[in-house]
Structure 1
C-alpha cells in the first residue's frame, strides 16, 4: 500500500536548497567553490540582537508563548509597520512565525481551498507554487516579460483570472529578479484585484534592500479597500541577517489574522521564544546595520551589472532590489539545469537554474557574498559563456 499522500506527490523539492547543499558538500570535500547561489546575507547577525537572545535564555524565557507571538514583539511590529509602511495594524492582527516562509504558507492555508486558483507571476520564488499545491489549490503562472522589467501587468493579471481565482501573490522586491513594483504599478494591479475581490499575498521580505531612487511601497497602504484584501508578509532574515533564527510575520485583516493564528496553534505552536526577544532588539536597536549592508550590496550590484553587461551572450535587467540578478542565458543553448550543472562541476561556480523559478532560459546569480568570491565567480562565469 502506498503510504505517501497524493498531495505530496504533486510537490517538487526545492532546487535552491539542492544546489546550495551540493555546493556545501563539494566545499566540505576540500573543493574551492565560488557560491553565487546564496539566498542569505553573508554578514553575521548584529551583536545586540544576539545579546538579547542570550539574556532571554539566561532569564529562562524558554517556555511557550501565545501562538501569535510575545506582546512586546507584536507591538513592536505594529509600530514598525506604521512607521515604515504607513500601515495601521493592531498587535492581534500580527502573527509571528517561524520564518517568512512559514508566514507565506500559513497565509495560503488560511485562504486557499481545494480547487481555488492562485495567480503567481513568473519568474517566481520557488516555494510559492508548491505551497499552493499543498493547500489543495492550483497555481496559475503568468509569464512576465524581460521588456516589462519582469513585472506582471494589470492586463496579464486580468487575462489570467477565472471564476476560481482566489489569490494573487506579489513579491516586491522580487526573488529571483530584483524587480520592484512602483506605486503606480501596484495601484493598477490593485484595481484588478478589487474588481473581483482577489486576496493579495504581498511578500515584502526584501523591503529594506532597494537601491538608488527606488522606493518600496506596501500595496495594503494604498487604500482601505486594498488593506482589507491584503496579507502582508515580512521577516527578519534579510534585513537583519537572521536567516537561521527563523523569524517572520504576517499582518492581515482581522478574520484572516485569526485564521492564520489558528493554523499556527496546530502546527509549531509559536515561533522560538528566545528568538522573538532577539526580534524585539532588532526593531528597537540601532538600524545602521541595514543602511551599511544596503550600501555594500549596492556597490556589489553595480559591479556585477557592469560585468554581466560585458558578456555578449547573456542579457540582464538591472535589479532595483533584493540581492539577485536574473540572467537570460537562452543564447548559450543550454537549459538552465544543464547549464548550472556544468557551471558547478567544471568551473566550480554555484548558481540556481531558472527552471526552479518557472523560467528555463535563465539562471539566478546572487551578490550576497564577498567581493573576492563575486569577482572570481564572475570571471569563471564569463569564461563559461565564452566557451559556450
Structure 2
C-alpha cells in the first residue's frame, strides 16, 4: 500500500508539473501505458494470493482512476491556456468598420440603354419588349420582307433547328427589334408611341459587327404624323444624347421593306485630331435608318392604314456607345475583360439625367 501511495504522489506531482501536451503524454505512458508502472502492477495481480488481491486490487483501481482524472484535468488546463494564448495574439476588434466591398461598374451598353430610354420617355415614348426567338412571320412577313430578300438567307440569319419531318414555319433569332413593334400594335392598337430596345442576332463578325448586338427601334402611329415629326424627334434625341445644342441631321433617301418613304440619317461631325466631334465640321456620319411605316406593315399588325399613319426608326445601341464614349472596337463589348469594363464602365449610381435638356 505504501508503494501505491508513493506512486500516486509521484505521478500526481508529475502531472501537475507538465507544461505541455507532449510532457503530459510522457507522464501518462510512464504510469498507464502498456509498459507503465501502474499497468505493470495491474498485471502482477495474477500472481498474488486471493487475500492480497482483495487488498491490492481496489487500491490499484483507485490509483488508476485518480491518475486518469488528474490527466483529464491537466489536458483541460493546458487547452484553456493554449486558447488564452491564441486569443491574446489573434483578437479582432469587432467595433472596427468592415472592409470596403469592391464596387462593380455598369456596362456601357446598359448605361447607354438607360440614357436612350430616359430621353424617349421624356418625349412620350413607352418601352415595349418581346421574345428574342421569333417566328418567321413576325420577323419577316409582317414587316413586308419578301421571301427572296437577302436577310432571309442562312448566311445572314440564325434559324432554329427543326427535327426531320417538322414542316412548321421556321423560328429565328430575331434580326431586329421590329417584331416588337408588330406585337405592340397588335396588343395596344393605335395611337401608339413605343421604343423597343433589346438584343438582336445576325451572322456577322468584325470590328464593327458581332453576331449578337443591341438595337433600339421606335414607332409612332397617329392620325397626322409626318416626316416632319420624325425629324424633330430624332433631332431632339441627338441633341440630348450627344449633349450638344447644334445638331444637324441629313436625311438620305434609302429603301427598307417596312417603311415608305425610307431615309438613312447622317449627323454632322468632324474628326479633328482623330477625335469625333458631333455637331461641327464638314463630315457626315450615318447613325440610323428611318421612314414612314409601310401600309402593309400597319395592316399586318391590325391597324387600318387608311385611318392611321406614322414613322419608325432603328439604331444600334452599341454603335451609339462607341460614338459617344470613344470606344474603338465593337468586339470588346463582349470580351468579358474586367480591365476594359473598369475603364469604360460607369458608377452604379451614375443615373442618366440627359432628358432634362430636351426642349418642347
Settle same-fold status: TM greater than 0.5.
Answer: no
Structure with the greater alpha carbon radius of gyration: 2
TM-score range, shorter chain: under 0.3
TM-score by length of 1: 0.21
Greater relative contact order (CA < 8 Å, ≥ 6 in sequence): 1
More strand by share: 2
